[in-house]
Amino acid sequence: MTVGASTPVSGGTKTAPRTWRQFFDPKRVRVAAAGSMMAPWSFELSFVLFLFAGRFKLDPRFAWVPVDLTLLFFAASVCLGFVALFRRNFLVTNGGLTQTGLALLFFVWMLVTLAWSPGGEYAVQKTLTAVVFCTWSLAGAALVIAPDPARVRRLFFWVCAFASWVAIETVMLILRDGAVNFVRTFDSDYLSLGGVLSVAASILLAVGIASRLGVARSLLVAGLFVGFVLLLFPLGGRGPLVGIALAGVFGLLLVLTGRMSGGASRGRSLVVILAILAASIAGGTLLIEGDEYALAAERFSLLLEGGLGESAATRLDYYSATLAFIGEHPVLGVGVGGWPVRMGFGMVRDYPHNLFLETQVELGLPGTLLLVLLLGYSVRLWSAGRLDPLRLAAMLVFLNLFIGSMFSNDLSDNRVLFFALGLMGAAAEVGMGRRLRLQQGYVGP
């Protein structure tokens, strides 16, 4: 059996037969092998499901699956990622390799700190989870996705599609039960769900203010953005809303002060962002004033009035205790997973609710320096390329997640942040996309 393929020849392009055996032949050029943007067998879909598996795997509807969904989609994404790299002759960017190397150094040091950690089995579990999942989250984005704009677009599509699923399920729960308590879509926690919606909103915001879209697409993007943001109110998570707000301000400043390559005009960008932010603020005000959204009203009123609330006060206590531990162990730290033991909580999953404080108190000065080096190099890699809508979206996603990491999640549960770091190199090497399409190997999305 043969299939048609477009093969470059002198004087034009012709369709030549190809056997299925040549499907994996790195000497043949094959464009768009993974199909359209919505191809369900793509690496990007399996990668998104791996990144967000923790948000839906506890849902009783998936109890029939005999294996852990995170492990299932991790294995699927690794296999598909290897196939994608193999079929393009393992062509990757130098920046992506450097990012992966720095991440490996960071997590290897985490392994070393097990030698003096009092965390026991919890410390081992935390380390293995971080080493395997977080490293792959960064490497998959940096090596497979970031070099190819087509893959970046498909990734953003599936993130927004997953967020739409979360939004639909959340609306159904609110209509059934109201929003007087924390909404637990898929039996997940509100911060994780808010993080999904906030990441998708960051992508939509970048696309909306930086891309040249027609009226219909502009309305669709703006509508989804406003819908995702408004759902953050009944969910009750303040961090994701703060993250998208700050990312929006930063994105607007970039668009208005920088040169957007192939994007919308500055005037249009300003009008679009002011319109969608005004709609979001107005809708949010109406929601928190309604009796049905008592929880949202309480939590966001505290935020607007400068109050703390119980969760914020607890975080301040954690920060104070963590700083004291850092003073006692400034160089090597207490070891990975040692913070809850030092706090008197035992060998349980708990953390200071701040990425840098957690890194310093558990991994010491070497861990903090390696993390800062990884973050700094990733930002430098992003700034080295030209500003376009895809790279703006990558920056807003990273900024949103980075702000969130200052208040919630621990190292082992921050794989989406490491994924965002890997994506910072998107199109940074300008000629990479062209090389992917001209090399004698697999180049399709």
| Cα separations in angstroms, 386 against 34, 48, 249, 250 | 27, 26, 20, 17
* Model pLDDT for residues 219-271, shown as the tens digit of each residue: 788 888 888 888 887 776 677 888 888 888 888 788 777 666 655 555 666 66
Same domain, 10 and 109: no
Confidence bin at 439 (pLDDT 50/70/90): very low
Same domain, 22 and 46: no
Q: Is residue 439 part of a domain?
A: no
Same domain, 136 and 273: yes
**By three-state DSSP, how is residue 263 classified?**
coil
Mean pLDDT of 141-145: 94
Q: Is residue 312 part of a domain?
A: yes
Same domain, 313 and 380: yes
Same domain, 180 and 109: yes
- Residues 8 and 13: their CA atoms lie apart, in Å, by 5
- Residues 153 and 155: their CA atoms lie apart, in Å, by 5
Model pLDDT, residue 207? 86
How many domains does the chain contain in total?
Answer: 2
Same domain, 102 and 224: yes
Q: Is residue 436 part of a domain?
A: no
Q: Is residue 360 part of a domain?
A: yes
Mean pLDDT of 362-375: 96
Q: Is residue 44 part of a domain?
A: yes
Q: Is residue 445 part of a domain?
A: no
Same domain, 25 and 120: no
- Residues 374 and 314: their CA atoms lie apart, in Å, by 29
Highest mean pLDDT of the ranges 243-252, 302-311, 335-344, 403-412: 335-344
Its pTM stands at 0.83
* Model pLDDT for residues 82-100, shown as the tens digit of each residue: 999 998 888 888 999 999 9
Same domain, 25 and 128: no
Supply the range of the domain harboring residue 223: 39-428
Q: Which amino acid is at 2?
A: T
Confidence bin at 139 (pLDDT 50/70/90): very high
Same domain, 304 and 348: yes
Same domain, 228 and 118: yes
- Residues 359 and 235: their CA atoms lie apart, in Å, by 29
Q: Which amino acid is at 420?
A: A
Model pLDDT, residue 295? 55
Same domain, 88 and 7: no
Same domain, 176 and 310: yes
Chain mean pLDDT for the chain = 79
Q: Is residue 193 part of a domain?
A: yes
Q: Is residue 438 part of a domain?
A: no
